[in-house]
Amino acid sequence: MPKLTGSTTGKEFVYIDPEVSDWIRGNDINDENVAVGATISQIYSADKSSNFMFMYSDDDPIKAADSYRGHAKGVSLFDSTTGFWLIHSVPNFPPLKAYSYPNTAEKYGQSFFCSSMEVQYLTQLAEHWKYIQATPYLINISEKFKTRFPTLKNVEAKQSLPRSATQFWISNLIKTVQGTNLMAYAKHKKFDGDIWNDLVSKQNKVTLAVESWLNGSGDDLHTTCTDSSQTHDVMEMRVTGLNFSSSKDHSKWGVSGSQTNPIVCFGDMNRQKSQLKRGGGALCIQNRNLWQIYHSSVVKVEPCEASFRCSFPITVLLVFMLISFAF
């Protein structure tokens, strides 16, 4: 959750997984024993000789932010059978040696989405990371992973698409360990478009409400309404009874406007013009309960202009949370 005067300190979080039907409140995101900390901490004790480990970020805790490669942050760990992929929005996180949460991230809300899957899906993940130009700051590929998943070597070497490439976005179906379908969308910087409106909205034929970072000097895209898509910027949210504006939130996610196609997506990109020229992705799940929680969190969106009508029912939204869909 963001730091809100008289309400939160910036360490509180809300969490949901398939075993519960609504947010569970937590008091300290810096605790290595809570969901985020316990998930990521596995990587610090993993055996390098037999596992795949990956931390990537355009703004990692080691060096200056990279504004050229993909705008994406995440953590992944696999052994010979299963692993997880965690997408997050937190700059300078996580550390290399031991889990801690940066003080600099407490001011604003953040988002996490974690999914567990069988190791075979590293084929799709490697292709996804290659497309978005994920920037490694920790990567360990044991020999058996190099042989079985050769694209991981491209990711490690920061090699993306060849000059001859003509396809600048991909989508991959991924199943969690208990069989839930996820759809991963990835765009290369040469796609030159907004992943939320030009991919997620159009491909799924849904109206979206998107929460993303719209502060600072970046030129915002604003709500986009065409005859083939509608993507609304979220302006105000309510989470566990607390209202706050999107300017208090650094998370990146979107929710569809209708329960007939109850999609929730978690991603990398902000709806700003500078992001059109950068790679990034989104991971989407169709889940009615999760959709209801996010959809009911949207208090206010920016409406369409001109003759286009706002079709997103205005109601409440998010933020600081880990969604652990390791069903």
Name the more confident of 40 and 311. Answer: 40
Taking only Cα atoms into account, the Rg of the chain, rounded to an integer number of angstroms, comes to: 18
Q: Which residues, in sequence order, are bridge partners of residue 171?
A: 185
Token pair listed for 48: 């390098």
Distance between CA atoms of 234 and 100, rounded to whole angstroms?
Answer: 30
pLDDT in tens, 244-283: 999 999 999 999 999 999 999 999 999 999 999 999 999 9
CA 63 to chain centre: 22
DSSP class of 304 = P
Per-residue model confidence (pLDDT) at position 217: 67
pLDDT in tens, 299-314: 999 999 854 444 555 4
Token pair listed for 92: 């300078």
Which whole-number Å values give the CA distances from 242 to 1, 3, 239, 316, in the listed order? 10, 11, 5, 10
Length of the chain: 327
> Residues 6 or more apart from 256 whose CB is under 8 A from it?
204, 206, 207, 208, 262, 263, 264, 291, 295
Per-residue model confidence (pLDDT) at position 189: 97
CB 119 within 8 A of CB 51: no
Distance between CA atoms of 238 and 314, rounded to whole angstroms?
Answer: 12
Per-residue model confidence (pLDDT) at position 309: 45
In percent, the amount of the chain with pLDDT more than 70 equals 93
Q: Which residues, in sequence order, are bridge partners of residue 283?
A: 184, 266
Give the pTM: 0.93
Average pLDDT over residues 140-144: 97
How confident is residue 323, by pLDDT bands cut at 50, 70 and 90? Answer: very low
